[in-house]
Structure 1
Amino acid sequence: MYKSTGSQVKNEFNRSRHAAFLLHVHIVFVTKYRRKVFGELHINSARQYVSEVCTEFGAELKECDGEADHLHMLIEYPPTVQITKLVNSLKAVTSRRLRNEYLDLRAAYSKPVLWSRSYFAGSCGGAPLEVVKKYIQNQRG
C-alpha cells in the first residue's frame, strides 16, 4: 500500500529485519452486563491507558472512542503481537486503572470487574482504514 504525497511516494508498510507488514485490528470491549457507566472523562482516560498498553506491545493506537457501555479501538500492530495477549492486557490494565481512578465505576459493580468476558476483534485489511476511523469517531451520534 503506497500513499502519494505530491511528487513523492511514501511507503506505508512497517518494516522489521525480516518482514514488511501493515496490520490493523478493530477491537470492541463491552461493559459487564452492558451497564451504561462511561462518560467523557472515562473514555478519555481509557484512551490514554490503551495507548500506553499498545506502546508496551510495540503497537500504536490509531483511534479510540465509545459510548456509555462500550469502547472501540483501532490498533496497528506488528506481526509479533498475539491479539489475545494484547486484548487480555488491555482489559486488565484499563479495568484496574479506571476503577482505581473513578469511584463511580467501582460502585457500579459489586465485584472488581468492568468488562464483559467477551470482546470483538476484527481484521481491518479489507476495509479502508479511513472508513473504520470514521465509524469509530461517529460512535456517539
Structure 2
Amino acid sequence: MVFVTKYRHKVFTDAHLKRTEEIMRDVCEDFECELIELNGENSHVHLLVNFPPKVALSKLVNSLKGISSRRLRQEYPELVRRYWRAQRLWSGSYFAGSVGGAPLSIVKQYIEQQNRPV
C-alpha cells in the first residue's frame, strides 16, 4: 500500500516515520494483520501488509490512515500548524496492490530502499 500526504506536502522526518510505523503496527495487530515493512519519504509511506481474506481492505486502510493522522496531529502539534490543512494528514486516495505471485523479499527490498528523510 502507498499513502500520500494531503497536497503532497513534505511532512515526515525519520522520527515521524518511526512513530507512524509504531502506530500502524498497533492498528494491524487489532485487525489480526502483520505489518511486514514500512518505509517512506517525506511525503508518502509504503507499507507491506499481510492480511487475511476476512479483513476488508477499505476498512483496514481507513483505520490505518485515520488513527495515524489523529495520533500524529496530537503528538506533533507543530506539524499541524505548518503542513496540514483541513485537519488531515493523508490524501483521500491510496494505492493497494497484490503481490501474491511476487517474492516478498523483492517487495520488501524495494520498500527498504526508499529515500527516507533524516
Normalising by structure 1, report the TM-score.
0.79
Gaps of 5+ in 1: 1-26
- Tell me the equivalent position of 1:69: 43
- The CA RMSD measured in Å over matched residues stands at 1.0
1:72 alignment partner AA: H
Separation in 1, partners of 2:57, 2:39: 19
AA in 2 matched with 1:115: W
State the identity as a percent. 51
Greater strand share, 1 or 2?
1
Q: Is the 8 A contact 1:105 1:114 kept in 2?
A: no
AA aligned opposite 1:73 = L
Instruction: Determine which structure has the larger helix proportion and give its number.
Output: 2
Where in structure 2 are the equivalents of 1:45-56 lying within 5 Å? 45-56=19-30
1:62 match: secondary structure? strand
Map of 1:22 onto structure 2: none
> For the residues of structure 1 that align with 2:51 and 2:25, how far apart are their CA atoms?
12
User: Which amino acid in 2 is paired with 1:47?
Assistant: E
Report the structure number with the largest CA radius of gyration: 1
Counterparts of 2:107 and 2:51, CA distance in 1: 16
TM-score normalised by length of structure 2: 0.94
> Which ranges of 4 or more aligned residues in structure 1 deviate by more than 4 Å?
none
1:132 aligns to what SS in structure 2?
helix
1:38 matches 2:9: no
Q: Tell me how many residue pairs correspond in the alignment.
A: 115
